[in-house]
Structure 1
Amino acid sequence: MNTNVPELIWHNGKVRPWAEATVHVTTETAMRAVNVFEGLRAYRQPDGRLAIVRLTAHLERLETSAALMHIPHPGLAAELHDGITQLLAALDPQGDVYVRPSVYVDTGRYTAERTEMTTGTIVTCFPAPVRPMEPMRCIVSSRRRIADDALPTAAKTGAAYSGFRLARLEALEKGADEAILLNQHGNVAETGGAAVFAVRHGRITTPPLTDGILASITRATVLALAERLGIPAAEQPLTPGDLHGADEVFVTGTLDEVRIVGQVNGHSPRHGDHPIGSALREEYLAMCAGTRPALDASFLAVIA
């Protein structure tokens, strides 16, 4: 994600200068990462308008995350929809952007009672990162994905990303781009920001949600795209060995979109031209850009 500081941010109902959006250092979000968030990507369309991919699905997942983390905030999705709209109108970005809506706990340490806690909302917007064209190099991390019985895996919460951060640092130390985490049973879970797919004999496989992964919206889209293109697909457990011996490996996520994996632990997929992953990538990016028909009417939400 681009880390250049924008001029404006939406915070607690208002677009304001970036520096004015502050919380105290002792808030629950600062001390214990009690927050949930979403990452959305908006693409310029052929008519010049800006459209967000799967906006409704992302905001619904944010509400689910808040419920799972016991962060009561009535009307959250509608409030953040308004915040996104207001911020994009104020910034008037010229290119594709990455948007992050979030709700956090200000006060109320061990309670889920709305009357005993205060919460806040934020929307940030950054230029979309430069899209890498080269295949990524991955390792299987020594760190495991936090299990659902320790922290809800269906919640996109800041607390979980401390673990993802350590896995990413391990990958960078080993000269890789990204880390693939395993679950507590030793099966493939996900990266810190993307779902994992393997291809073997023309068939794609991705771990099921029951293997302790986030319900990735891009993952669901790619599975639907595979059906459209007539590519057999299944959700079933994967082992590191399945990745080492795959014909192709790729990952999917809001930031990664559909990105080809060129190595896993030094093992290169058999099909160096990545025909299936590349076809899905091309179709996905064309849908996002509005140059090919979307899967359904809810795929793109025109905002600005």
Structure 2
Amino acid sequence: MPLHPEIATFLAGLPTPPEGPLDPVAMRAGDEAHVAPPEERLPLHAVEDLTARTASGEVPVRIYTPAEADRHGVLVYFHGGAFFLGSLNTHDHIARSLAKETGLKVVSVGFRLAPEAAFPAGLDDCYAVVRWVAEEGESLAWDGTTLALAGDSSGGNLVAAVAAKAHDDGFDRITHQILYYPSLDLDFDVDRYASLRENAVGYGLETAGLKPFNAFYIDSGADPADPLVSPIKRADLTGLPPALVVTAEYDPMRDEGELYGRRLREAGVEAKVSRYEGAGHGFVQHFSWIPEYHAVFAETRDFLGRS
């Protein structure tokens, strides 16, 4: 189907990006300026900012409790933003919707960003918070069952990398991994995937922008050949947690996500790949107010077995 008309209208109204190198500080400030005030956000039983004291150091987290209960399953959420953008605030609405729809307590991670923090600082923070949730489960009122991971775009990359690190370390508490239009291959050779050419221009995220947007991460020491940087390069995917991989029809990174899902299944991992027609990259963050795309949260709920 064609690009959703409301997405097409939005993209047509965007100004031409400024020329010159990307400015992380200015771009972050621009993103923060569009965050809805607290009184306009989806209400939940409780939202609390804490500092997780972990093996990686002190990591800010925001904890979303959907309803009053003695115990909850937990979903740990890693935001997108090409490893240099995004925050607890810019992705607050996604975390709220995840908590509301799934009934899980959501722990959103304010991991360190490139270029200020060199690889693997952000990845270490994410993994450390997952271990912290398991270790501090009693104080978090974790029910000891569901411990899911979810992330969008580069956050999906971090989900896959954390799941792999946990498996290699023998940490087997992660029950699910949910990857929304994940960035899984930081080798941006346009001949690697057909979607890099098919969706190169006109759908928001453009193929030519992938290298400069990810350059902050790569230049900080993230080697695209490393499976912890490009999780699709991991040779053995056996033993990883069940996965939901959500892709978008008009996303340049569509095919790498779908390939990852197929490779998981070939390795004996339960994996569902769900392509959202008419959508482009970032639709969960920017267009989940459109009913057919808000359904991604119900699909997540169902995948987690909490329908």
Q: Which has the higher contact order (CA 8 A, sep 6+)?
A: 1
TM-score, with structure 2 as normaliser: 0.26
Which has a greater percent of strand?
Answer: 1
Larger Rg: 1
**TM-score normalised by the chain length of structure 1:** 0.26
Higher helix share: 2
